[in-house]
Amino acid sequence: MTNLHTSQWNDIIGHVRVNFPDVLRGWFSNLEPRHIRHGVLTIAADNPAQVRYLTKHCRHPFTEAAQAATGMLVSVHFETDHPEPTHTVALSFKHELPELTLNDDYVFDNFVTGPCNRLAHAAAVAVSEAPGKAYNPLFLHGDVGLGKTHLLQAVCHTVREREPNRRVLYLSCETFANHFIEAVEAGALNQFRYRYRNMDALLIDDIQFLGERERSQEEFFHTFNTLHQAQRQIIVCADCCPAEIPSLQKRLISRFNSGLVALLDRPCLETRMAIIRKKAKLRCIEVPEDVIKLIASGIETNIRELEGALVKTDALSQTHDGVITREIALEALGSLATRRTVLIPDIIDLVSSRYGVRVSDLQSRKRTKSITFPRQVCMYLARELTSHSLEEIGGFFGGRDHSTVLHGHRLIGEARSRDAQLDRELGETSNLLARTQQTKESL
């Protein structure tokens, strides 16, 4: 058995940081090298979630780093002294489908709040502190990469830390549906129902996929009722609000709407900058403030793309003495930055001309129908054709809040589905805006 010198361990961590920046996590500083025995370096982590992450993503990086630092042909093994409590109910059918693995970084301390997600975050925190009592059910919705999964997993982490004996189950809608089908085929519905209906908290990701599964909807409906009547917590998330999930039964829509439905919108510039600072801190990356603003301005769609831009910038910096500069960030953003195909001022100008209203009226506080309708059309087109957040769109119309923009978008969307003429007008307007932007870009 051989012990690792401190300098060798520092060399291993440094090697991983330089050559594999995409796997780096802030908690790597808590890892502890134990010994090298029979050609295997054993590394201790704080908890099972970290061991799972290291085993899945970091075995090769740490093996390469250990061999470079020690000069020996060694492999690595990850372990922990703190086993995770499990509350799995044994089922009689053959395959047990496991719940989703929790990401150790998805905790409330690492979630950046802003006007785009403040309600959803506050609701998730309240639920984690008082499951089944604060908001039940809690329905989170928003586009991909805006933090829904982060909040679901943060609730799981918090509940399990505060009350380890609580039975908390977090899984995808796909897993629930497949598990149900397997139970039907195996004649094990009683065991299936016992497992799901005896949980203290049930959290399901991507519930929109339930819409096309009629029998799974029926089973989930009864599971929902059983848990809700017993004051057990239910949290689900989707990429749209309950009423917009295709083929979802009205009784399920009604039950989802009976609790709190919270939207996670695209983050504004200030929130995106705060997210980059947080991600950089977690990855132990030093990023100048002007580079943070540059990345936040170039990536406007979702948090995952922001993190991808940060990782690529850091990787490119390793070829330039490890220093992140504006030039390196511009190079990284070359293939990642998104462009707004349409500008909101162009939308306002075209709509004001089409409906015969002044731009100043659209941006005023006037609420007459002749002004309110074209203003809502502007909000609808801005939401559909640009990557601006609800808050940013509201800023173009007299500083209106996100709920006003969301209301206007919903009204015009519903009117468009009923009115063929309005649908045609909006389609023509969208095409004209796209051609206008293409003309500008060609000049």
Torsion of CA 390, 431, 298, 328, to 10 degrees: 170
Domains, the chain, with CATH or none: 6-80 (3.30.300.180), 108-263 (3.40.50.300), 269-333 (1.10.8.60), 344-442 (1.10.1750.10)
Angle at 66 between CA 60 and CA 71, to 5 degrees: 125
Characterize the bridge pairing of strands 138-141 and 233-238.
parallel
**Is the CB of residue 236 less than 8 Å from the CB of residue 139?**
yes
Cis peptide leading into 137, omega within 30 of 0?
yes
* Predicted pLDDT at 125: 94
What is the reported pTM? Answer: 0.62
> Which uninterrupted H or E stretch holds 420?
helix 420-442
**Is the CB of residue 319 less than 8 Å from the CB of residue 285?**
no
SS3 86: coil
Q: What is the CA radius of gyration of the chain?
A: 25
The per-residue b/e assignment along 334-355, b for 16 or more CB within 10 angstroms, e otherwise, is: eeebeeeebbbebbbbbbbeeb
From first to last of the 443 residues of the chain, give the pLDDT tens digit.
567 888 889 889 988 888 888 788 878 888 999 888 888 899 999 888 788 888 888 999 999 998 988 888 888 999 988 765 544 444 444 444 455 678 888 899 889 888 888 899 999 999 999 898 889 999 999 888 888 999 999 999 999 888 888 889 999 888 898 889 888 888 888 888 988 998 999 999 999 888 778 888 999 999 999 999 999 999 999 988 888 888 888 999 999 999 999 998 888 888 888 888 888 888 888 888 888 888 887 777 778 888 888 888 888 887 777 788 888 888 777 755 444 457 888 899 899 988 888 988 888 888 888 889 999 999 998 888 877 778 788 888 888 887 788 888 888 988 888 888 888 888 888 888 877 766 665 55
The tokens 């502890």 sit on which residue?
Answer: 32
Percent helix, strand, coil in the chain, to 5, is 55, 10, 35
Half-sphere exposure of 49 (CA within 13 A, CB side): 19
SS3 378: helix
Q: Name the E strands within 199-308.
A: 201-205, 233-238, 260-263
Which residues fall within 8 angstroms of residue 397, CB to CB, at 6 or more apart? 362, 363, 375, 378, 379, 405
* Predicted pLDDT at 223: 93
Structure tokens at 24: 């780096």
Residue 156 CA to residue 370 CA, distance in Å, equals 49
Long-range contacts of 90-93 (CB under 8 A, 24+ apart): 90/191, 91/183, 91/188, 91/191, 91/192, 91/195, 92/186, 92/188, 92/191, 93/182, 93/183, 93/185, 93/186, 93/187, 93/188, 93/191
Among residues 10, 7, 9, the alpha carbon closest in space to that of 36 is found at 9
